[in-house]
Amino acid sequence: MPAPSFSPKEIAEGRRLFAGEWRFVYAAGSVGSLPPQRGVEVAFAGRSNVGKSSLVNALTGRNGLARISHTPGRTQELNFFSAGDRWKLVDMPGYGYAAAAKTKVAAWTELIRAYLRGRANLGRVYVLVDARHGIKAPDEAVFDLLDEAAVSYQVVLTKADQVTGEALAQVRDTTAAALAKRKAAYPEVLATSARDRSGIVELRAAVAKLVAERGQRG
């Protein structure tokens, strides 16, 4: 599958959407502490240490916005960031950390399931997958949750700079084939690198397009 392409206008819209003054606005660690539903929400999920916080920082141009931890499974809250009233970026807690206690896994699952089912303003979840390893069992479990909740999601490959061009094309094709069997998955697979900024412009454009479409609906 070829990489998604965007027009100069869509690229410009993506740049404008992320050009505001970003700030942390809220953290929710339980179902009861979720904030009011205002504006479109776009969430980012991924396995622990997939590079999610680094990608959020690259997208927003704010190196310290999302806290980067080298301890897998440390973030256990939904973190909301905003650059205006139009939409919010939601950094979801990492999943799939093998050493996590069963009680923590259960609490994470309850929080995420409640969030996915109860947010009418949730536009899409971008599920980050390490380009070096492809889809793993914990990712499949999250896909199941998203399919069950009928929430649109799209896979974004991270750390693409650490994979050769041929290998990246192969993992993109394999990922797209796996997603084709799922009812809530968006068919196009994006590839990014927070380190060399490849794919960041395209991901911004994709988010801008989504926010514009959801804004028109609601």
Q: Which helix (H) or strand (E) holds 155?
A: strand 153-158
- pLDDT (average), residues 35-54: 92
Whole-model pTM: value is 0.92
Ramachandran sector of residue 118 (left: φ over 0; alpha: ψ -120 to 50; beta: rest): alpha
CA distances from 39 to 107, 119, 122 (A): 26, 11, 9
* Percent of the chain residues past pLDDT 70, beyond the cut: 91
- On average, the pLDDT of the chain sits at 90
Residue that is written with structure tokens 């939904």 in the block: 78
Query: If you average pLDDT over residues 182-200, what whole number do you get?
Result: 96
Contacts of 17 (CB under 8 A, 6+ apart): 87, 204, 207, 208, 211
Average pLDDT over residues 61-73: 67
Per-residue confidence band for 216, with pLDDT thresholds at 50, 70 and 90:
low
Question: Residue 29 contacts by C-beta under 8 Å, 6 or more apart in sequence?
Answer: 76, 77, 78, 111
Residue 70: predicted pLDDT: 46
Mean pLDDT of 14-28: 93
Give 88-121 pLDDT, tens digit per residue. 999 998 887 655 667 777 877 888 888 998 899 9
Give all domains of the chain, ordered by start, each with its CATH number.
8-217 (3.40.50.300)
Radius of gyration of the chain (CA): 16
Mean pLDDT throughout 119-133? Answer: 96
Using CA of residue 205, residue 209, residue 214, residue 215, what is the dihedral sign?
A: positive
Indicate whether 199 pLDDT > 90.
Answer: yes
Positive or negative: CA dihedral 201, 12, 80, 189: negative
